[in-house]
Structure 1
Amino acid sequence: MDGMRAVVTGASSGIGAATVRGLRAAGWDVLAVARREDRLAALAAETGATTFVADVTSDADVAALRDHVARSGGAHALVNNAGGAKGLASVEESELDDWAWMFEVNVLGVKRVTSALLPLLRRGAQERGVADIVNVTSIAGHVAYVGGGGYNAAKFAAHALTEVLRLELNGEPIRVIEVAPGMVRTDEFALVRFGGDRARADAVYEGVPEPLVAEDIAGVIVDAVSKPPHVDLDLIVVKPVAQAAPYRLAKGPLAVRPADRS
């Protein structure tokens, strides 16, 4: 992928950092974007990616990101990965501030960055023959579950945004790809959701055989943007085998059921 450049948001940890590593290994130039400068610096030292400190909920930061991308080589792919969940309370009892934060980062952040970089991606498509917008959503944007309230609503909105964008860009050589992960064990997702409560965060994964890890999702993203230009993987749902739905998880070792001999 010589000369190809990707911009990855939410790159300081988890799926974002793993995606930066995966794209770099596949030969892409990568601009890693996140709020935490120290983590970006460590990722740059490890991978050779370049970095830009920005908060996707800030209009000024995203405008500065756009200008930086324009000055420093443009973009051929955008991975909108920044996102997160807060709380697992009911619709009745959950905090409006948590809902507002989830909409800002999971929906409006995607809109801000996409709007800002789309003119640059069009130029990238002329150079490469195709450009990619990859939105990392969640199975929570497709199936509701008790306690999911604000996160379900935000990710359903991100899914709708992605589908509308694909319709609007029809006829242009721009692929709009949605990657919807199920349970992924990362260092921070559940920890943020539960306000730093490590015991509660760890309990989410307790007994679940082999939840996904960030590298699993990164591999899917790298594969999707590496397809021939005419191939568009519109929606990719990725779950561990132990997860049938957001609310149905196998606990303990997976095993084949004995045959019914009746």
Structure 2
Amino acid sequence: MARNVFITGATSGIGEAIAHAFAQNGDNLILIGRRKERLEAVQAELETLYQATVWTYQLDVTKVDMVSDICQKILAEVEVVDILINNAGLALGLEKFQDYAVEDMLTMLDTNVKGLLLVTRQILPQMVESNSGHIINIGSTAGIYAYAGAAVYSATKAAVKVLSDGMRIDTVDKNIKVTTVQPGLVETNFSEVRFKGDKQRASEVYQGIQALQATDIADITLYIANQPQHVQISDITIMATKQATGFTIHRES
């Protein structure tokens, strides 16, 4: 039976790859993102490639009232969300904490933590009422291993891990699963966003190592969601073969 899978940040990178993986699996997709034209393009591609049922909603997860309105609209129109994948997130800059732009700090907190909180708070009560559901939160190895220039980003991803643990505790008496996925170095537009469009600097992040791809994380996310009801994968950390911790990386010259 097709599940209704709600994916935040679905217009690029890992979120878009996850949408493809679940659509190919025969699931229905509820996609949200800030860019209407990208949502429509992803929807058209999924419908063409997989004949998937796809709903799209333009949404900025940092806006409290907007999240409430759109999530309630989704619950009214789609009725049931079986899987919520909180993927929306970003890093901005790579400066020492004392030199960081406050605006960038707050944007990371608002998107990576506040956005996850707001969306989950709207969707989880329906899962509790139906005694069924799965929340998959996309964290990062940065939440385990802080690295230079990423104090705030690392803190936001540590928060994702702890929030997931707390949600799992609070729903332990329900048939609800909560999973944290913690990818390492994944070659997407992540670094281009971090460096505000500097393609050259972004490309250097992935030089000398065969980085993970968005499809790798998507495949693992689908695997997590396809486990039997009695099997809950609470946490999973994925790194490239030549990545040992967050930024302990062997690069070929």
Which range, TM-score by smaller chain? over 0.9
Partner SS for 2:5 = strand
1:122, distance to aligned residue in structure 2 (A): 2.9
The aligned counterpart of 1:161 is: 163
The separation in 1 between residues aligned to 2:178 and 2:43, in whole angstroms, is 27
Structure 1 residue 192 corresponds to structure 2 residue 193: yes
User: Contact between 1:180 and 1:236, CA under 8 Å: does it hold in 2?
Assistant: yes
The aligned counterpart of 1:259 is: none
The aligned counterpart of 2:244 is: 244
Q: Higher mean Cα deviation, 65-74 or 188-197?
A: 65-74
The separation in 2 between residues aligned to 1:166 and 1:149, in whole angstroms, is 26
Aligned 1:46-65 pairs, distance under 5 A: 46-48=45-47, 49-65=54-70
The aligned counterpart of 2:234 is: 234
Q: Which amino acid aligns with 1:86?
A: L
Partner SS for 1:133 = strand
Q: Which amino acid aligns with 1:95?
A: A
The separation in 2 between residues aligned to 1:202 and 1:3, in whole angstroms, is 38
Q: Which amino acid aligns with 2:46?
A: T
Q: Which amino acid aligns with 1:37?
A: K
1:80, distance to aligned residue in structure 2 (A): 0.1
The aligned counterpart of 1:85 is: 91
Deviations 1:189-240 (A, max 9, x none): 00111111111001111111x2001110011111111100110000010111
Number of residue pairs the alignment of both structures matches = 246
Q: Which amino acid aligns with 2:135?
A: I
The aligned counterpart of 1:97 is: 103
The separation in 2 between residues aligned to 1:161 and 1:101, in whole angstroms, is 19
Aligned 1:103-182 pairs, distance under 5 A: 103-123=109-129, 125-126=130-131, 130-182=132-184
The separation in 2 between residues aligned to 1:7 and 1:31, in whole angstroms, is 4
The separation in 1 between residues aligned to 2:167 and 2:158, in whole angstroms, is 14
Partner SS for 1:224 = helix
Partner SS for 2:81 = coil
The separation in 1 between residues aligned to 2:196 and 2:23, in whole angstroms, is 32
Q: Aligned residues: percent identity?
A: 33
The aligned counterpart of 1:38 is: 37
The normalised TM-score by structure 2 is 0.94
1:248, distance to aligned residue in structure 2 (A): 1.1
Deviations 1:95-135 (A, max 9, x none): 11111111100001000000011122234x54xxx310000
User: Contact between 1:87 and 1:194, CA under 8 Å: does it hold in 2?
Assistant: yes
The separation in 1 between residues aligned to 2:37 and 2:242, in whole angstroms, is 35
Q: Which amino acid aligns with 2:57?
A: F
Structure 1: any 5+ residue segments left out of the alignment?
254-262
The separation in 1 between residues aligned to 2:159 and 2:224, in whole angstroms, is 22
The separation in 1 between residues aligned to 2:186 and 2:243, in whole angstroms, is 11
Runs of 4+ in 1 over 3 A off after TM superposition: none
Deviations 1:174-196 (A, max 9, x none): 1000000000001x200111111
The normalised TM-score by structure 1 is 0.91
Structure 1 residue 69 corresponds to structure 2 residue 74: yes
Partner SS for 1:245 = coil
The separation in 2 between residues aligned to 1:57 and 1:146, in whole angstroms, is 26
Structure 2: any 5+ residue segments left out of the alignment?
48-53
Structure 1 residue 206 corresponds to structure 2 residue 212: no
User: Contact between 1:98 and 1:150, CA under 8 Å: does it hold in 2?
Assistant: no
Larger-Rg structure: 1
User: Contact between 1:80 and 1:134, CA under 8 Å: does it hold in 2?
Assistant: yes
Partner SS for 2:97 = coil
